[in-house]
Structure 1
Amino acid sequence: MEFLEYIFVLPMHMEESIETFFSLNDFKNYYIDKPTKGQNVIKVYINKKNPETHVIDFLKDNLELLSKKDITEDDWLKPWRDSLKPFEFIKNIWIIPDPDKEHDLPDNVKIIKIIPGTAFGTGLHPTTKLAAKNLMKVVDNGSDVLDIGTGTGILSIISKLHGADKVLAIDYDILAVEKAKETFELNGLNISVKQSDLLYKIEKEKFDIIIANIVVPILIRLLNDEKLDEILNENGYLILSGINKEREKEIINKIFEKEYNIISREEDSGWISLLLQKRI
């Protein structure tokens, strides 16, 4: 697959706003290079068959362009993959981006193996971490979990590692679905995954926990879906993540219209995750 590589200077004070723009636009084909000497840069990769011109237009309006060139997918992914190191995702859960290498990790931690690639991040974004923190408060042995917008599959894996019984991961992006399948197999976990636009392909299943780590307009669509109430068990939990601070009030107003209580709130870098419980 052929891409265009754009390299921009990335001032430190712009990093958060640029990553927020990418998250809101569901754009994943980039990485930030922070050399020990010299200026930080952001490298952006645009599929030549499906050019996301609004992304490049935004970056050109806000950052200095250093270079632009043709590049293959393998060429740009290799140095990024090589630069990734194991890291503690949340307390006692470590992510290994390169499972083929030997790694020296602390004892008694849970490990998630991933294979980074296009349309498939490492779970570094705050929205995934915030959702995971809320998930850890409620997941238990025997829980049935639905992971909406699974992306990396990390939240589904955490559910399974902490005793969940049935876990179903769904995503609208068929490429993300295929990558999630690979990741679940890599970790030796029995997690079902399917392509679905929100709850469209969910039939008569019922869940104790529903996780939705997606952008605010899609979260509102989910909250307006009558099927959400039908598939969430009594006293069940709904975890919403991907909420930027500017739109938190909008989400809370929508929650108050529905049958949920806010149990917990997690915030990091201007992003918010809410843990809700269904009212009896």
Structure 2
Amino acid sequence: MRNFTEGKRLPLVWVEFAIETTQSAVEPISNILHEAGASGVVIEDAADFQANEKSTEDEVYEFKPEDYPAEGVRVKAYFPENETVKTVVENVKTSINELPRYDVELGANKITLAKVEEEDWAHAWKKYYKPVVVSDTMTIVPSWEVYEPRNTHEQVIELDPGMAFGTGTHPSTVLSLQLMEQYVTKNDEVIDIGTGSGILSIAAAKLGAKQVTALDVDEVAVYSACENIRLNDVNEQITVQQNDLLEAVGTQEADVVVANLLADIILRLTPDVHRVIRPGGCFISAGIIGRRKQDVIDAFEREGFQVLRTAEVEDWVAIAVQAPEA
């Protein structure tokens, strides 16, 4: 485990791994990419672009057809360019090609590789990333935008996601934040598993949590989280640690645990979360696609958790459950 108070310089060149596939393959492929050490996953769904064309509401992004596959889904992941990246990519390809053995339809299964400069990435975000209204009392604002709060009660989270993702624009992040507004209360202690850019940890602090532990296995995410925590002036409330899920938390306990990950990772966490969540505490999980909702609920209920609320947007699900009372 490593505790961080100062960020570290990010790698300058990345390898972008992109695969065109099916909606049903998104979760297992994302899981493979995360396990391989990818610094975040981007999902470009043709259905999202089609839905946006029909929408008359203001949008977070400037949607362009060239950014989306003609059909199906494009999943992108980013690996730092180093001496092991070729081996990592080949291992990822092998694991993906084994998925049909588990009845996962890969569709086109078209893979492309490209190099991405850190500066190019930053420029792309500044072009497309705009303020995100999460609720009547919370808005996420990119650090380079000028934004006037709508009212005196609005919590504004400033964010520069860099390569760590977690911009607040994805439905699973918005759902996580909306549930946190309901279940994080003043003086709570919170653990954020897979913090990414630190957005959920920052939200917890702004909602009144007295202590937040932000965990991520990825060094780039740790760097980004530290930078964003300083940007929002919540350093005193948040500690960032680089570790693998909950393995290094030890005897620490929390009133609320949040995990915006993937269903398979949440299922691995469920039996272990008992030792860090206080009796009657709340576990908020997201990043769950619709067809895995019941699998996750069943796993919670086997461990004695009670479902408090589920929320869904665009086939993404977030679930808030309560730990058994002592």
* TM-score above 0.5: yes
Query: Are 1:183 and 2:194 an aligned pair?
Result: no
In the alignment, the residues of structure 2 paired with residue 128 and residue 35 of structure 1 have an alpha-carbon distance, to the nearest angstrom, of: 19
Query: Are 1:144 and 2:155 an aligned pair?
Result: no
Query: Are 1:173 and 2:218 an aligned pair?
Result: yes
Judged with a 3 Å threshold, the aligned counterparts in structure 2 of structure 1 residues 247 and 163 are, in CA distance, closer, same or farther, namely same
CA apart distance, 1:257: 1.3
Which residue number corresponds to residue 107 of structure 1?
A: 151
Which residue number corresponds to residue 213 of structure 1?
A: 260
Which residue number corresponds to residue 300 of structure 2?
A: 255
CA apart distance, 1:141: 1.0
Query: Are 1:124 and 2:135 an aligned pair?
Result: no
In the alignment, the residues of structure 2 paired with residue 223 and residue 185 of structure 1 have an alpha-carbon distance, to the nearest angstrom, of: 31
Q: Give SS of 1:224's match.
A: coil
Q: After superposition, what is the alpha-carbon deviation per residue over 1:123-176, rounded to whole angstroms, capped at 9, x for unaligned? A: 211111111121111111111111111112111111111111111111111211
Q: For residue 163 of structure 1, what is the amino acid of its counterpart?
A: G
Contact 1:7 1:41 (C-alpha < 8 Å) held by counterparts = no
Contact 2:188 2:211 (C-alpha < 8 Å) held by counterparts = yes
Query: Are 1:164 and 2:209 an aligned pair?
Result: yes
Q: Within 5 A, what are the aligned runs for 1:1-280?
A: 1-3=12-14, 24=31, 25-26=33-34, 28=40, 39-41=66-68, 46-47=78-79, 48-49=81-82, 50=85, 52=89, 54=92, 62=108, 70-97=115-142, 99-108=143-152, 109-189=154-234, 190=236, 191-225=238-272, 228-280=273-325
Q: For residue 251 of structure 2, what is the amino acid of its counterpart?
A: K
In the alignment, the residues of structure 1 paired with residue 292 and residue 151 of structure 2 have an alpha-carbon distance, to the nearest angstrom, of: 40
CA apart distance, 1:279: 1.8
Q: For residue 291 of structure 2, what is the amino acid of its counterpart?
A: E
Q: Give SS of 2:297's match.
A: helix
CA apart distance, 1:211: 0.9
Contact 2:285 2:320 (C-alpha < 8 Å) held by counterparts = yes
Contact 2:166 2:173 (C-alpha < 8 Å) held by counterparts = no
Contact 2:216 2:245 (C-alpha < 8 Å) held by counterparts = yes
Taking only aligned residues, the RMSD between alpha carbons, in angstroms, comes to 3.4
Contact 1:4 1:71 (C-alpha < 8 Å) held by counterparts = yes
Which residue number corresponds to residue 54 of structure 2?
A: none
Contact 2:267 2:299 (C-alpha < 8 Å) held by counterparts = yes
Gaps of 5+ in 2: 1-11, 50-60, 98-105
Gaps of 5+ in 1: none
Q: For residue 208 of structure 1, what is the amino acid of its counterpart?
A: D
CA apart distance, 1:107: 2.7
Contact 2:158 2:228 (C-alpha < 8 Å) held by counterparts = yes
Contact 1:29 1:118 (C-alpha < 8 Å) held by counterparts = no
TM-score (norm 1): 0.81
- Of residues 34-43 and 214-223 in structure 1, the stretch that sits farther from structure 2 once superposed is 34-43
TM-score (norm 2): 0.70
Judged with a 3 Å threshold, the aligned counterparts in structure 2 of structure 1 residues 96 and 160 are, in CA distance, closer, same or farther, namely same
CA apart distance, 1:247: 1.5
Q: For residue 247 of structure 2, what is the amino acid of its counterpart?
A: Y
In the alignment, the residues of structure 2 paired with residue 87 and residue 96 of structure 1 have an alpha-carbon distance, to the nearest angstrom, of: 7
Contact 1:3 1:45 (C-alpha < 8 Å) held by counterparts = no
Judged with a 3 Å threshold, the aligned counterparts in structure 2 of structure 1 residues 254 and 105 are, in CA distance, closer, same or farther, namely same
- Structure number with the bigger relative contact order (C-alpha 8 A, sep ≥ 6) is 2
Judged with a 3 Å threshold, the aligned counterparts in structure 2 of structure 1 residues 131 and 213 are, in CA distance, closer, same or farther, namely same
